[in-house]
Amino acid sequence: MTTLFKPSRHGLARHLLAPLALLAVVCATLALRPTPTALERIQARGELVVATRPSLTTVYRDSNGLTGMEYELAKGFADRLGVKLELLKLDSNDALRQAVRRGKADLAAAALLAGEDEQRGLRYSTPYQNVDTLVMYRLGGARPTSLADLAGKTLVVRAGSRHADMLADARASNPGLVFTVEEKSSAEQVLATIEQGDADYALINSNAYVMHRALFPDLASGFTLNRDQGLAWAFDARDDQSLYLAAQRYLTRIKADGTAERLVDRFYGHLDQFDLYAARSFIQHLDDRLPNYTADFRQAADSAGFDWRLLAAMAYQESLWDAQAISPTGVEGLMMLTTRTAREMGISDRTDPAQSIRAGAGYLRQLHNRIPERIQEPDRTWMALAAYNMGMGHLEDARVLTQRQGDNPDRWQDVKTRLTLLDDPGYVNQLRYGAAPGGQAAVYVRHIRHYYDLLVRADNSERHGQTLLATSE
């Protein structure tokens, strides 16, 4: 007869106590383990989530992909942390604040004035850029010079900004001040309300004005309401300060080493180039002429491997998008081709827009391919444009001079300063390809870069972007 072993009640208790003791040890260990900080959580998941409002002052797209002041700053911070940057694109400041407070974003970076909504649980970093708050009006109307001039007029501000708070405070001493808060509006939309006559005045920050000025040439600043206000990043005040302090260290460092200043100059250093007449002409031609050729620019750009807006900027510099343009030297068409270049590129009619654009793009591609491969973008493209204007040989002479004088021949910033020496009698005997109007080539490239910037802004704008998009279909 088989006998089954039956453990005693005391033996069963001993078997149960062992796993319970192990479980207790594990629980105690977990309880003693510190909770990961906000910074540790970001590094563990490998990405920094930044909430932003896409615009020309924050994040937009150019030929190299995403760019913009906030994008470059946030990308630099993510790189510093050793993680990937993930953008959460939202349409209002309220949405930005909620995303940070609910943990959907680690921080908000959207050209926010330091201290905006601080009472609602946000902690702000040290400012990385200073701006002024401007009172905008339409040229031809009465220019406001003080808050008293705004009484009884229609005044608009963006919702979720400190502008409404500024005016509410000012109303204590100016009871006639009345303003409208535009929900989910952009700086462009606020400016459009004045341009279209739906409002008399509006408040806008100076950085947004610089970005939009050429797109709204009939608007101007009446007076400055507040000066030197800092733009900053926003964090959840309830979270630990690990991420906030890391951001503080990063922003302090880039201000100290000049990175922040260089970014401000890169994105906002266009004010000195503004010309009212030229801006009005550009906007008129953007709406009246460019749509006739956008499809051709896009097709040629696809074939040649360039951003279509770069080709369009070249054509504007060459001919103001006039297909019948002829210069005193005999070049003609949208891309102002010489007879020799047209023959080399295999076209028969320089005044035919499609042929001219295709040949100009193809010729630029040939020059671009001849630039040494070690030269990085965008310097490579700027040098190709200079060669388009004055010839590859003269560009090489400028690069040789640059190297002889101890600077970098592969850096456009260094090379362009030597272009003016190409027709200097003191240097002509050092040039393999002879004298050339190098200063003219430097101006040529600068203008094309300016028009390209304007086209990028227009393409990313709400008014002109739809027009340019529609013409490509």
Contact call for residues 248 and 126 (beta carbons, < 8 A)? yes
What DSSP assignment string belongs to 144-184?
P-SGGGGTTS-EEEETTSTHHHHHHHHTTT-TT---EEETT
Cα–Cα distance, 226 to 149 (Å, whole number):
16
Among the options 70, 188, 195, 318, which is catalytic? 318
Catalytic residue at 195? no
Contact call for residues 92 and 53 (beta carbons, < 8 A)? yes
Cα–Cα distance, 321 to 289 (Å, whole number):
6
Contact call for residues 471 and 295 (beta carbons, < 8 A)? yes
| Distance, first Cα to last Cα, the chain | 91
SS3 category, 429 = coil
Contact call for residues 137 and 147 (beta carbons, < 8 A)? no
Cα–Cα distance, 119 to 108 (Å, whole number):
16
H/E stretch holding 41: helix 38-45
Cα–Cα distance, 164 to 176 (Å, whole number):
15
Closest among 140, 199, 148, 135 to 174, alpha carbons compared: 148
Cα–Cα distance, 302 to 421 (Å, whole number):
36
Q: Which residues are catalytic?
A: 318
